[in-house]
């Protein structure tokens, strides 16, 4: 039938679903291959994602990672998995201590502010909350126990500065994730900072002995007076909530080394078991083709964009819809395009509600089955969101054609509406579409009111009415005969 060849690019997935052989594949950084997802426990997925370091507002690069993880989680749930998701909050590290001292307040006063801001941010981006948000400062006993185990096993030692270090040379698998060559390490030399580059790979701090720069941030423990290093926090928290081995660990590619490499070393050296089965990393984000940086003036937190008046759901859509393993170039033009795409989805759903009853030709159910197969098959293929969305917009175009020809029955429209809601439980961008139908009389009144406002040069009021009309799907047109309005098509 005409038009259906639009879906040719995903016939493969239609076959898979028809044969009920749908499986999810993920690109595993550990093996650098796409692998079929086999959870430890059937029907369950245990996920750990590195959370924010709460020393500042999260920026759009951070949110790219959090939105990729949100999509991953929503997709697993859509496919019937019971997901347990843990995201840590790093509230003790070099950066939070520095920040609190600079502001002259306690560490917890300083970090509480940014924790609260983080939760506000994820809410406006419609990110599904994790099951657990452990704070590093609440896990000191677990961290101490883990470090003691590593010392007992002979893979950690106390340096002459009284800090405790992980001995990289004692863990033969070191470098497996990031593919760093161990023999290039400066054996025996040590690094005390939380962040360092590959070329500085060396024994890293698990527990940092107190120094005057730490001020009143320290814990008196069996390991001495001090505080944990950043890397050990994630090992302790993930294993506490998810067990010694769990299914998926995510993060940005910049965390692969040293952070994730060190997490593997600490955890596996302590337990003797494999730490994580699937490692998934999202690529970097650029802004207008350049690395995002404060010095280039192209550094944006979510809040910077909201202040400029951008719609958070458009930001969500934009950050989520480039495949997570592709480098992503954030542009303001693409942010506008995202807004248009969301409006198209919402208008389509609105239009479905308006269907008064056309002829059922059987085409709608065929198209719907193709969309489900194509969208699902693409997402099963390492979250191939680009192809999934192409199939969605092709579907909308086809159905709109049938709607134009009055070839969609009320029941079919309701079924398509249900399908759109299922898809939106993955995308999270359509939401509850306002269905109250404006009567033409009301619109005429508003249009007239706006004309009067314009005559009186009340531009603010005129603009407000125009936005109100726009939200009702009404487009205004200035013609020689005066202003006219029409309903915007999906
Ligand atoms: Zn982490």
Residue 234 Cα to ligand 1 middle (Å): 5
> Do residues 243 and 106 make contact, with C-beta atoms less than 8 angstroms apart?
no
Q: What is the pLDDT of residue 199?
A: 64
Q: What tokens does 6 get?
A: 């639009």
Residue 473 Cα to ligand 1 middle (Å): 45
Q: What is d(CA 170, CA 180) in angstroms, rounded to the nearest whole number?
A: 16
Residue linked to tokens 């399908």: 419
Residue 90 Cα to ligand 1 middle (Å): 8
pLDDT bucket at 8, cuts 50 / 70 / 90:
low
Question: CA nearest 94: which of 259, 213, 221?
Answer: 213
Residue 260 Cα to ligand 1 middle (Å): 7
Q: What is d(CA 89, CA 283) in angstroms, rounded to the nearest whole number?
A: 21
Residue 204 Cα to ligand 1 middle (Å): 15
Residue 221 Cα to ligand 1 middle (Å): 23
Residue 64 Cα to ligand 1 middle (Å): 16
User: For residue 12, is pLDDT > 80?
Assistant: no
Residue 95 Cα to ligand 1 middle (Å): 15
CA 462 to chain centre: 38
User: What average pLDDT does this structure show over 185-191?
Assistant: 68
Residue linked to tokens 């019937």: 80
Neighbours of 192 (CB within 10 A): 17
Residue 89 Cα to ligand 1 middle (Å): 9
pTM, two decimals, is 0.85
> Do residues 366 and 10 make contact, with C-beta atoms less than 8 angstroms apart?
no
Asked whether the bond before 157 is cis by omega within 30 degrees of 0, the reply is: no
Residue 264 Cα to ligand 1 middle (Å): 11
User: For residue 70, is pLDDT > 60?
Assistant: yes
User: For residue 106, is pLDDT > 80?
Assistant: yes
> Do residues 39 and 81 make contact, with C-beta atoms less than 8 angstroms apart?
yes
Q: What is d(CA 265, CA 175) in angstroms, rounded to the nearest whole number?
A: 9
Neighbours of 470 (CB within 10 A): 13
Residue 99 Cα to ligand 1 middle (Å): 20
> Do residues 192 and 205 make contact, with C-beta atoms less than 8 angstroms apart?
yes
Residue 252 Cα to ligand 1 middle (Å): 10
Print burial letters for 134-158: b (CB count within 10 Å at least 16), e (below 16): bbbbebbebbbebbbebbeeebbbe
Residue 439 Cα to ligand 1 middle (Å): 54
Q: What is d(CA 190, CA 200) in angstroms, rounded to the nearest whole number?
A: 9
pLDDT digits (tens, 9 = 90+) for 293-348: 988 889 999 999 999 999 999 999 999 999 999 999 999 999 999 999 999 999 99
Q: What is the pLDDT of residue 469?
A: 81
Percent of the chain with pLDDT over 90: 75
Residue 250 Cα to ligand 1 middle (Å): 9
Q: What is the β-pairing status of strands 246-252 and 474-479?
A: unpaired
Q: What is the pLDDT of residue 359?
A: 93
Residue 86 Cα to ligand 1 middle (Å): 11
Residue 177 Cα to ligand 1 middle (Å): 14
Residue 253 Cα to ligand 1 middle (Å): 12
Q: What is d(CA 437, CA 450) in angstroms, rounded to the nearest whole number?
A: 20
Q: What is d(CA 60, CA 285) in angstroms, rounded to the nearest whole number?
A: 8
Q: What tokens does 51 get?
A: 């959370």
Residue 174 Cα to ligand 1 middle (Å): 17
pLDDT bucket at 447, cuts 50 / 70 / 90:
confident
User: What average pLDDT does this structure show over 268-274?
Assistant: 98
pLDDT bucket at 387, cuts 50 / 70 / 90:
very high
Q: What tokens does 241 get?
A: 């909530």
pLDDT digits (tens, 9 = 90+) for 210-225: 999 898 899 999 999 9
Q: Show the 3-state SS of the chain.
A: CCCHHHHHHHHHHHHHHHCCCCCCEEEECCCCEEEECCCCCCCEEEEEECCCECCCCCEHHHHHHHHHHHHHHHHHHHCCCEEEEEECEECCCHHHHHHHHHHCCCHHHHHHHHHHHHHHHHHHCCCCCCCECCEHHHCHHHHHHHHHHHHHCCCEEECCCCCEEECHHHCCCCCCCCCCCHHHCCCCCEECCCCCCHHHCCEEEEEEECCHHHCCCCEEECCEEEEECHHHHHHHHHHHHHCCCEEEEEEEHHHHHHHHHHHHHHHHHHHCCCCEEEEEEECCEEECCEECCCCCCCCCEHHHHHHCCCCHHHHHHHHHCCCCCCCEEECHHHHHHHHHHHHHHHHHHHHHHHCCCCCCCCHHHHHHHHHHHHHHHHHHECCCHHHHHHHHHHHHHHHHHHHHCCCCCHHHHHHHHHHHHHHHHHHCCCCCCCCCCCCHHHHHHHHHHHHHHHHCCCHHHHHHHHHHHHHCCEEEEEECCEEEEEECCC
> Do residues 405 and 3 make contact, with C-beta atoms less than 8 angstroms apart?
no
Q: What is the pLDDT of residue 437?
A: 52
User: What average pLDDT does this structure show over 38-43?
Assistant: 96
More confident position, 70 or 467: 70
Residue 39 Cα to ligand 1 middle (Å): 21
pLDDT bucket at 20, cuts 50 / 70 / 90:
very low
The pocket of ion ligand 1, defined by CB under 5 A, consists of 50, 234
Residue 143 Cα to ligand 1 middle (Å): 14
Q: What tokens does 99 get?
A: 């920040």
Q: What is the pLDDT of residue 470?
A: 81
Residue 232 Cα to ligand 1 middle (Å): 8
User: For residue 15, is pLDDT > 70?
Assistant: no
User: For residue 123, is pLDDT > 90?
Assistant: yes
pLDDT digits (tens, 9 = 90+) for 131-180: 999 999 999 999 999 999 999 999 999 999 999 999 998 999 999 999 98
Residue 432 Cα to ligand 1 middle (Å): 35
Q: What is d(CA 100, CA 76) in angstroms, rounded to the nearest whole number?
A: 39
Average pLDDT of the chain, as a whole number: 90
Residue 298 Cα to ligand 1 middle (Å): 26
User: For residue 14, is pLDDT > 80?
Assistant: no
pLDDT digits (tens, 9 = 90+) for 468-484: 788 777 888 777 767 77
Q: What is d(CA 444, CA 450) in angstroms, rounded to the nearest whole number?
A: 10
User: For residue 18, is pLDDT > 70?
Assistant: no
Residue 48 Cα to ligand 1 middle (Å): 8
Residue 407 Cα to ligand 1 middle (Å): 53
Residue 238 Cα to ligand 1 middle (Å): 9
Lowest mean per-residue pLDDT among 137-141, 370-374, 465-469 = 465-469
């Amino acid at each position: 039938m005409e038009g259906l060849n639009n879906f040719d690019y995903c016939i493969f997935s239609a076959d898979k679903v028809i044969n009920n052989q749908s499986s999810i594949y993920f690109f595993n950084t550990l093996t650098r291959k796409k692998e079929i997802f086999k959870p430890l426990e059937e029907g369950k997925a245990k996920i750990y994602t590195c959370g924010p370091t709460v020393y500042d507002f999260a920026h759009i690069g951070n949110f790219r990672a959090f939105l990729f993880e949100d999509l991953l989680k929503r997709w697993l749930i859509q496919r019937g998995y019971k997901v347990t998701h843990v995201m840590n909050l790093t509230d003790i590290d070099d950066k939070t201590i520095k920040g609190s001292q600079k502001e002259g307040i306690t560490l917890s006063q300083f970090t509480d502010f940014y924790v609260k801001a983080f939760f506000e941010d994820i809410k406006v981006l419609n990110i599904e909350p994790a099951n657990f948000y452990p704070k590093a400062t609440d896990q000191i006993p677990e961290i101490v126990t883990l470090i003691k185990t590593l010392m007992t096993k002979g893979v950690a030692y106390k340096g002459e500065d009284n800090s405790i270090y992980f001995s990289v040379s004692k863990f033969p698998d070191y470098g497996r994730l990031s593919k760093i060559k161990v023999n290039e390490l400066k054996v025996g030399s040590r690094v005390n900072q939380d962040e360092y580059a590959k070329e500085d790979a060396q024994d890293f701090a698990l527990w940092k002995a107190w120094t005057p720069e730490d001020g009143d941030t320290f814990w008196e423990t069996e390991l001495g007076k001090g505080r944990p290093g950043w890397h050990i926090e994630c090992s302790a928290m993930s294993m506490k909530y998810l067990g010694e081995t769990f299914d998926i660990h995510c993060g940005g590619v910049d965390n692969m080394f040293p952070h994730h490499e060190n997490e593997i070393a600490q955890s596996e050296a302590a337990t003797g078991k494999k730490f994580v089965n699937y490692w998934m990393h999202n690529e970097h984000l650029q802004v207008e083709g350049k690395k995002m940086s404060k010095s280039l003036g192209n550094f944006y937190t979510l809040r910077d964009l909201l202040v400029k008046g951008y719609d958070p759901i458009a930001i969500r859509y934009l950050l989520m819809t480039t495949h997570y393993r592709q480098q992503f170039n954030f542009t303001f033009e693409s942010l506008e395009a995202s807004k248009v795409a969301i409006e198209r989805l919402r208008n389509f759903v609105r239009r479905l509600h308006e269907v008064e009853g056309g002829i059922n030709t059987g085409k709608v159910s065929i198209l719907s089955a193709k969309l489900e197969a194509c969208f699902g098959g693409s997402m099963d293929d390492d979250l191939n969101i680009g192809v999934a969305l192409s199939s969605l917009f092709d579907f909308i175009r086809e159905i709109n054609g049938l709607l134009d020809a009055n070839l969609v029955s009320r029941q079919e429209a309701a079924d398509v509406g249900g399908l759109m809601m299922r898809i939106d439980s993955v995308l999270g961008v359509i939401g509850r579409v306002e269905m109250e139908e404006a009567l033409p009389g009301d619109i005429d009144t508003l249009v007239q009111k706006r004309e009067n406002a314009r005559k009186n040069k009340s531009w603010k009021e005129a603009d407000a009415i125009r936005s109100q009309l726009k939200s009702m799907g009404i487009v205004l047109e200035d013609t020689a005969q005066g202003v006219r309005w029409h309903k915007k098509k999906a």
